[in-house]
């Protein structure tokens, strides 16, 4: 095997690779010997087929196989003998035609990882913003919970509905004397002043009494969801079944029992944990961002173009998908197009930080143990149906690439931990608002653009963040979920219930991923 360097430019390398005919032939022979022991052919007992016959039947395939093997070995040899650390999968081109016999010539081109000579991770000074979980926040959370759990009780017969009351109505809506789809319903609960219905609808219910009949005239707003109704005047014939007034929700043990808890203290405990986790996540996000910023400003080295391209493409795809969903896709597209350079810069930064972190991890001896790996795989598998779990575990055990992807976020987190451990950290107590503002202001995204979560943070190199956010979201979603489960029928106006279910469903799915619904989705 002859290897010669063709290009050596920056991080780019290219080599010519010649595999001599004899080497290929030798490989074919060994392969032939192996295969003919197992091959089956009518008229012969297994393994008794003469070699020349096998060669005639499968010669071409064997040669292709041998060539592939030889090529892989060659590429490995190129990498090992030159001590290269490839950034991406080497690209192999065939020079001219592949001959049926004779020497095979290839060009192997690849980009190598830059060598980072001086990693400056000493004397890191970071400021950690800590939000103390105070009673005020606690009370606010409790109040929120109470608010959403608010129940109503029937009002006295003569009571006239006022803002804040809930009215149970049957309704029949017409436009130009014609009924329209979804315009008729029974037993709808309307909370006056909640603004859930068409403007004006709720106002006209003020003063209604139980068993009263009214006619309401409203005009659908211009931007109403159904185009055939938008901007049209409509008439609703209403029968009021009942009027309910909100009942005072007292925050006491009784209230906590509504959530299946023993006492108010237990509820407070849970809320406190959630709050702490949320705040802890936020302050870590901020700290990590600071750390990455510091690292980025201290280091500057060439990064492989192909990796940047891959990263950039990923960003770009997300952006384009988002732009396509905007109200005016063309304008949104033009906007991101204008900021193309900025995104490119972000991609470079991400790749550089990613490389830097892995280098630091290597030098610092940060490793992910097999036990941790198994736990990760277990978590991943738990997201699938029980029947599939075995397969998933097997897949990750056998597929090194997939396992790497699973490993990367954990590894990065550990490196960050390692760095934070090394750094001199000063703590400063701030309020929650200040912390959130600090995180928002340090977005690496270019100014003036307001895109989704993917551009706010390094999703690739900081996967811990979305995970934390998701956790926080889940915690929030859990409240309505618990509530909906606790008292599904008794309260919650129809519309609200629907909204809540929508809220609760993702939470439930996240909590119990082995649920059949999810399972079918996955396996389908």
Partner 1 sequence: MANIDIKHYDVVVKPVITEKSTLVSEFNQVVFQVAKDATKPQIKAAVEALYGVKVLAVNTMVAKGKTKRWRGQEYRRSDVKKAVVTVADGDRIDVTTSI
Burial 399-408 (b: 16+ CB within 10 A, else e): eeeebeebbb
Minimum CB separation of residue 44 from partner 1 in Å reads: 5
Closest approach of partner 1 to the CB of residue 75, in Å = 36
What is the rounded CA–CA span in Å between residue 179 and residue 368? 65
Which residues lie below 8 Å from residue 484, measured CB to CB, with a gap of 6+? Answer: 492, 497, 500, 501, 504
Of 45 and 490, nearer to partner 1 (C-beta) is 45
User: How many helices (H) and strands (E) in the chain?
Assistant: 16, 11
- According to DSSP, residue 197 is labeled S
Nearer to partner 1, 56 or 517 (CB): 56
Distance CA 254, CA 516 (A): 34
**Of residues 43 and 516, the one with the C-beta less far from partner 1:** 43
CB 518, min distance to partner 1, A:
50
Task: Name which of 26 and 44 has its Cβ closer to partner 1.
Answer: 44
Nearest approach, Cβ of residue 50 and partner 1 (Å) = 6
Q: Where are the alpha helices (DSSP H) in 299-366?
A: 305-325, 329-338, 340-364
- In the complex with partner 1, the residue whose CB is nearer, 40 or 391, is 40
524 strand-pairing partners: none
Question: What's the token pair of residue 51?
Answer: 């070699």
**Edge-first strand listing for the sheet containing 91-94:** 2-9, 12-19, 104-111, 91-94
Kindly compute the dihedral angle of the four CA atoms of residues 97, 110, 311, 448, in this order, to the nearest 10 degrees: -110
Closest distance of CB 459 from partner 1, Å = 59
**How far is Cα 350 from Cα 314, in angstroms, rounded to an integer?**
12
Min dist CB 48 to partner 1, Å, is 6
Enumerate residues 32-61 that contact partner 1 by CB under 8 A.
43-45, 48, 50, 53, 56
Instruction: Give the binding-site size for partner 1 (rule: CB under 8 A).
Output: 7
Pull the structure tokens for residue 189: 């609960």
- Give whichever of 100 and 222 is closer to partner 1, judged by the CB atom: 100
Q: State how far the Cα of 146 lies from the Cα of 141, in Å rounded to an integer.
A: 9
Nearest distance, CB of residue 51 and partner 1, angstroms = 11
Q: Per rule CB under 8 A, is residue 428 in the interface with partner 1? A: no
Min separation Cβ 376 and partner 1, Å: 53
Q: Which is nearer to partner 1, 40 or 340 (CB)?
A: 40
Rounded Cα distance between 114 and 356, Å, is: 10
Nearer to partner 1, 45 or 428 (CB): 45
Helix %, strand %, coil % of the chain (to 5): 50, 15, 30
Q: For binding to partner 1 (CB under 8 A), which residues are involved?
A: 43-45, 48, 50, 53, 56
């Amino acid at each position: 095997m002859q290897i010669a360097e063709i290009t050596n430019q920056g991080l780019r390398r290219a080599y010519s690779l010649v595999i001599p005919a004899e080497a290929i032939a030798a490989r074919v022979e060994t392969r032939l010997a192996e295969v003919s022991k197992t091959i089956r052919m009518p008229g012969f007992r297994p393994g008794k087929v003469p070699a020349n016959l096998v060669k005639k039947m499968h010669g071409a395939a064997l040669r292709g196989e041998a060539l592939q093997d030889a090529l892989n070995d060659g590429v490995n040899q190129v990498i090992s003998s030159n001590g290269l650390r490839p950034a991406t999968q080497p690209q192999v081109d065939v020079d001219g035609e592949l001959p049926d016999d004779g020497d095979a010539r290839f060009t192997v081109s690849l980009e190598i990882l830059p060598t980072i000579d001086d990693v400056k991770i000493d004397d890191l000074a970071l400021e950690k913003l800590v939000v103390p979980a105070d009673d005020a926040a606690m009370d606010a959370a409790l109040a929120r919970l109470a608010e959403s759990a608010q129940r109503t009780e029937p009002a006295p017969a003569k009571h006239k509905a006022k803002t804040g009351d809930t009215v149970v109505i049957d309704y029949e809506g017409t436009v130009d004397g014609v009924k329209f789809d979804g315009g008729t319903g029974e037993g709808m609960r309307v909370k006056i002043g909640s603004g859930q219905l068409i403007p004006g609808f709720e106002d006209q219910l003020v003063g209604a009494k139980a068993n009263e009949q009214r006619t309401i005239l409203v005009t659908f707003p211009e931007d109403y969801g159904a185009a055939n109704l938008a901007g049209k005047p409509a008439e609703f014939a209403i029968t009021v079944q009942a009027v309910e007034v909100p009942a005072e929700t007292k925050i006491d043990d009784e209230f906590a029992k509504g959530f299946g808890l023993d006492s108010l203290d237990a509820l407070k405990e849970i809320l406190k944990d959630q709050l702490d986790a949320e705040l802890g996540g936020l302050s870590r996000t901020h700290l990590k961002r600071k750390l990455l910023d510091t690292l980025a400003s201290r280091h500057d080295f060439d990064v492989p173009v192909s990796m940047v391209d891959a990263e950039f493409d990923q960003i770009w795809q997300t952006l384009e998908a988002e732009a396509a969903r905007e109200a005016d896709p063309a304008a949104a597209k033009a906007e991101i197009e204008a900021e193309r350079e900025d995104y490119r810069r972000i991609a470079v930064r991400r790749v550089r930080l990613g490389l830097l972190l892995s280098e630091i991890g290597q030098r610092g001896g940060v490793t992910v143990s097999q036990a941790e790996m198994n736990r990760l795989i277990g978590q991943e598998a738990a997201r699938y149906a029980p029947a599939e779990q075995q397969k998933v575990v097997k897949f990750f055990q056998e597929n090194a690439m997939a396992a790497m992807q699973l490993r990367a976020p954990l590894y990065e987190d550990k490196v960050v931990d390692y760095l934070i451990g090394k750094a001199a950290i000063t703590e400063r107590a701030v309020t929650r608002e200040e912390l959130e503002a600090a995180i928002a202001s340090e977005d690496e995204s270019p100014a003036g653009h307001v895109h989704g979560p993917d551009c706010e943070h390094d999703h690739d190199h900081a996967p811990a963040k979305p995970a934390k956010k998701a956790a926080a979201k889940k915690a929030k979603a859990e409240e309505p979920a618990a509530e909906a489960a606790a008292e599904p029928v008794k309260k919650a106006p129809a519309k609200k219930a629907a909204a809540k279910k929508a809220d609760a469903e993702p939470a439930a799915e996240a909590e119990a991923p082995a649920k059949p619904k999810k399972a079918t989705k996955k396996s389908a």
